[in-house]
Amino acid sequence: MNSGRFILSQVLDLVDRKMLFRLVERYDAESRVRHFGCRQQLICMAFAQLTWREGLRDIATCLNAKSETLYHLGFREPVAKSTLADANEQRDWRLWEDLAKILMRKARSLYAGEDLGLELANTVYALDSTTIDLSLTLFPWADFRRTKAGIKMHTQIDLRGPIPTCIYISNARQHDVRWLDDLFFEPGAFYVMDRGYMDFKRLNLIARAGAFFVTRAKDNLRFSRQRSLPVDYPAGMRSDQIGKPTLIKAREAFPDLLRKVRYFDTETQRDLIFLTNHLAIPALTVAQIYRLRWRIELFFRWIKSHLRIKHYYGTTPNAVKTQIWIAVAVYLMVAIIHKELSLPGTLHRTLQLLSVHPFEKMPLHELLTETDFKPLDPLAHNQLLLW
């Protein structure tokens, strides 16, 4: 008798069946499918992400170990390695991209009230990319060096979380700055980027949209100062200047005023130079906004360390993108559960508990919330002691 529901089933309840059905219809993902639908594929891949399965055979073996478990998860036949491989290679990966974007919107609404640690009401986004190395022999379509293959995951995260708001997967050859051509910028928001995104033509796109940017200046920057502002020297500020690029081409690409802030970082004992198009906020706030950019590095590290996006279950572009987008969806599910249940500790703690108890039958909140453990007193009995 089924006295409860599996932890894995409760996690996947975040994916509404009607919503998934609409996505399946949009991409015609279940035509001529008899028993292994998109939800079964999602269950297999989410299980693999949560429990760090090594390959398709490992996934099938673990799920098929108990037939009654499969039945209650919604399977009518044992999971076949070849069937899962075909689904990853043939079903349109954009279905899982749309699913992850729906979860992004839900997670962002939950984390919207998070404190940035700054007196700033604006939304702050961080932009960066990470390169995932691949085997050139297995992934010849992803070559970017003579002996190496890889793909690049361009990511924008809302720093009140951090929750990814936009992800784009490209060949590793593509330069980071070209991604800015395809982004839509939110008026009034800040976009924090490293110096790899410093291109005056692209930065002007952000300014024209009514948004603001904070980025590191390149070493060869030529800047013409028009006026200087007072600085808080004890706080690390060294200069705060307003002006324009010196070179004619740069000034044509960005005709508006720029602000150059020099900050001395006591931790690294280095002078850091920032550029922004916001002329009113304190100079120290500019440096503090850029310091928040490290959160996107933590996001990349978390994804690579705790989910399967470095070892792939398929070698085609569709299979790789399917695995990445389902990994992102699993990250968002964990983030949503962590926030909705107001769980203690970090996302890593929540993921660890989910990874070792996927087939427990107990309420999700009982597994994840902390309780005070009180061992039974061996002397607590009804009979009185003789001695």
Q: Is residue 301 a part of any domain in this protein?
A: no
Which of 279, 299, 330 is the last residue in one of the domains? Answer: 279
User: Are 18 and 73 found together in one domain?
Assistant: yes
CA angle 302, 305, 311 (to 5 degrees): 130
Q: Is residue 328 a part of any domain in this protein?
A: yes
User: Are 332 and 261 found together in one domain?
Assistant: no
Task: Report the C-alpha gap between 162 and 128 in whole angstroms.
Answer: 13
Q: Is residue 185 a part of any domain in this protein?
A: no
Q: Quote the domain boundaries for residue 350.
A: 7-94+316-368
Q: Is residue 330 a part of any domain in this protein?
A: yes
User: Are 252 and 330 found together in one domain?
Assistant: no
Alpha helices per DSSP H over 256-384 = 283-291, 294-306, 317-340, 347-356, 364-368
User: Are 255 and 329 found together in one domain?
Assistant: no
What pLDDT, on a 0 to 100 scale, did the predictor assign at position 265? 87
Q: Is residue 360 a part of any domain in this protein?
A: yes
Which of 279, 306, 330 is the last residue in one of the domains? Answer: 279
Task: Report the C-alpha gap between 267 and 199 in whole angstroms.
Answer: 28
User: Are 89 and 21 found together in one domain?
Assistant: yes
Non-local (6+) Cβ contacts of 17 within 8 A are 39
How many domains would you assign to the chain?
Answer: 2
What pLDDT, on a 0 to 100 scale, did the predictor assign at position 251? 93
* Residues 215, 192 contacting (CB under 8 angstroms): yes
Q: Is residue 154 a part of any domain in this protein?
A: no
CATH number for the domain spanning 241: value is 2.20.25
- Report the predicted TM-score, pTM, of the whole model to 2 decimal places: 0.88
What pLDDT, on a 0 to 100 scale, did the predictor assign at position 318? 95
Residue by residue, pLDDT tens for the chain (387 residues) are 345 789 999 999 999 999 999 999 999 988 877 788 899 999 999 999 999 888 999 999 999 988 888 888 888 889 999 999 999 999 999 999 999 999 999 999 999 888 888 888 889 999 999 998 888 888 999 888 888 889 999 999 999 888 999 999 999 988 899 999 999 999 999 999 999 899 999 999 999 999 999 999 988 899 999 999 998 899 889 999 999 999 999 999 999 999 999 999 888 889 999 999 999 999 999 999 999 999 999 999 888 888 888 788 999 999 999 999 999 999 999 999 999 999 888 888 999 999 999 998 889 988 888 765 455 555 555 555 555
Q: Is residue 166 a part of any domain in this protein?
A: no
User: Are 13 and 85 found together in one domain?
Assistant: yes
User: Are 38 and 84 found together in one domain?
Assistant: yes
User: What's the one-letter identity of residue 123?
Assistant: T
User: Are 275 and 327 found together in one domain?
Assistant: no
Q: Is residue 259 a part of any domain in this protein?
A: yes
